[in-house]
Amino acid sequence: MNKEQKTESIVFLERDTFKVAFRRPRFDHEWSEFGQTAVEDLVSRLRDATILICNKSPIKAETLARLSSLRLIAVAATGVDNVDLEFCKSHGIAVCNARGYAVNSLPEHALMLMLALRRSLIAYRGDVKAGRWHQSKTFCLLDHPLSDLRGSTIGIIGYGTLGQSMAQLARAIGMEVLVAERKGEAVVREGRTGFEEVLKNSDVISLHCPLTPETQNMIGREELRLMKPDAVLINTARGGLLDDTALLDALNEGRIGGAGIDVLRVEPPKSPSPLLDADLPNLIVTPHNAWASRQAMQTLADQLIESIEAFVEGQPRNLVV
CATH topology of domain 8-101+295-312: Rossmann fold (3.40.50)
DSSP assignment of 275-300, as one string?
HHH---TTEEE--S-TT--HHHHHHH
- pLDDT number for residue 79: 86
Question: Is 77:297 a contact under the CB 8 Å cutoff?
Answer: no
**2: confidence class by pLDDT, cuts 50, 70, 90:** very low
- pLDDT number for residue 6: 74
**Average pLDDT, integer, range 187-198:** 97
- H helices of the chain, in order, are 42-46, 61-64, 85-90, 105-118, 121-129, 161-172, 195-201, 221-226, 244-252, 274-277, 294-312
Among residues of the chain, what percentage have pLDDT more than 70? 98
Count how many Cα atoms sit within 13 Å of the Cα of residue 191 in the half-sphere of its side chain.
3
Is 238 considered catalytic here? yes
Of 160, 157, 52, 156, residue with least CA distance to 99: 160
- H helices of 25-141, in order, are 42-46, 61-64, 85-90, 105-118, 121-129
Which H or E element spans position 257? none
**3: confidence class by pLDDT, cuts 50, 70, 90:** very low
Residue type, 27: F
Active-site residue, selected from the candidate residues 253, 267, 294, 313? 267
Q: 132: Cβ–Cβ under 8 A, 6 or more apart, which residues?
A: 141, 143
Q: 68: Cβ–Cβ under 8 A, 6 or more apart, which residues?
A: none
Is 40 considered catalytic here? no
Mean of per-residue pLDDT scores for the chain? 96
Count other Cβ atoms within 10 Å, centred on residue 192: 17
**Average pLDDT, integer, range 298-312:** 98
pLDDT at 5 over 70: no
Question: Is 202:178 a contact under the CB 8 Å cutoff?
Answer: yes
For 251, 283, 285, the CA distances from 278, given in Å and listed in that order, are 10, 8, 10
What is the per-residue pLDDT across 226-256, written as a single tens digit (0 to 9) for each? 999 999 999 999 999 999 999 999 999 999 9
**Average pLDDT, integer, range 20-31:** 97
**Average pLDDT, integer, range 180-184:** 97
Residues linked to residue 72 through DSSP beta bridges, in sequence order:
51, 94
- pLDDT number for residue 35: 98
**185: confidence class by pLDDT, cuts 50, 70, 90:** very high
What is the per-residue pLDDT across 133-147, written as a single tens digit (0 to 9) for each? 999 999 999 999 999
Alpha-carbon span 147 to 149, nearest angstrom: 7
Alpha-carbon span 87 to 132, nearest angstrom: 59
Which H or E element spans position 30? strand 29-33
- pLDDT number for residue 4: 52
Q: Where in the chain is the domain with CATH 3.40.50.720?
A: 8-101+295-312, 105-285
Total residues found in the chain within this entry: 321
CATH topology of domain 105-285: Rossmann fold (3.40.50)
Q: Helix or strand or coil: residue 248? A: helix
**Average pLDDT, integer, range 216-221:** 97
Please give the model's pTM, rounded to 2 decimal places: 0.90
**Average pLDDT, integer, range 151-166:** 97
